[in-house]
């Protein structure tokens, strides 16, 4: 009969599932952004408005990825507690301390803003929005040159 999971193992499974769901929802943010931008381009909305909408989605994903990063930090602590075969803790880590751990290391307002900025500049986040901004610029450039 299989043994019961330790509290650390249960926490790891829960956090890993949550981490993966954050990744799926980050993809959804990107897909919604593409849809909104395409719709706005079809309506010939102003380029400044479209760029602002892209920036809002970019910021939203950066905040989302920052929360995901907090989960990742706890996952790494939990993973470090297991030996190479993954069955026995090497050190004692109190389980179910995600929020207390984050609260103990929570930065001030400027630190939080810096975290969001770092998340926004991660290639997996930034590339999508930079390319969308280039598409918008190209679309408006084409529209502008066609009207001359």
pLDDT in tens, 65-123: 999 999 999 998 888 887 666 555 556 678 888 888 888 888 899 999 999 999 999 99
Structure tokens at 32: 């919604």
Q: Residue 1's pLDDT band (boundaries 50, 70, 90)?
A: very low
State which H helix or E strand residue 101 sits in: helix 98-105
9 in Cβ contact with 47 (< 8 Å): no
Share of the chain above pLDDT 70, in %: 91
**For residue 105, what pLDDT is reported?**
85
pTM score: 0.83
**For residue 72, what pLDDT is reported?**
94
Q: Find the distance separating the first CA and the last CA of the chain, reported in whole Å.
A: 78
CA angle 16, 113, 137 (to 5 degrees): 95
């Amino acid at each position: 009969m299989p043994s019961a999971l330790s509290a650390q193992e249960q926490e790891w499974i829960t956090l890993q599932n949550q981490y993966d769901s954050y990744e799926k929802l980050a993809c959804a943010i990107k897909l919604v952004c593409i849809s909104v931008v395409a719709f706005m381009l079809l309506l010939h909305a102003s380029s400044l408005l479209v760029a602002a909408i892209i920036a809002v989605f970019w910021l939203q994903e950066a905040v989302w990825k920052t929360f995901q990063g907090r989960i990742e930090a706890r996952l790494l602590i939990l993973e470090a507690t297991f030996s190479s075969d993954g069955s026995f803790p090497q050190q004692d880590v109190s389980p179910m301390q995600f929020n207390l751990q984050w609260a103990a290391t929570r930065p001030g307002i400027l630190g939080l803003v810096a975290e969001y900025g770092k998340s926004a500049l991660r290639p997996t986040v930034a590339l999508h929005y930079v390319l969308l901004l280039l598409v918008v610029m190209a679309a408006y450039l084409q529209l502008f040159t066609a009207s001359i």
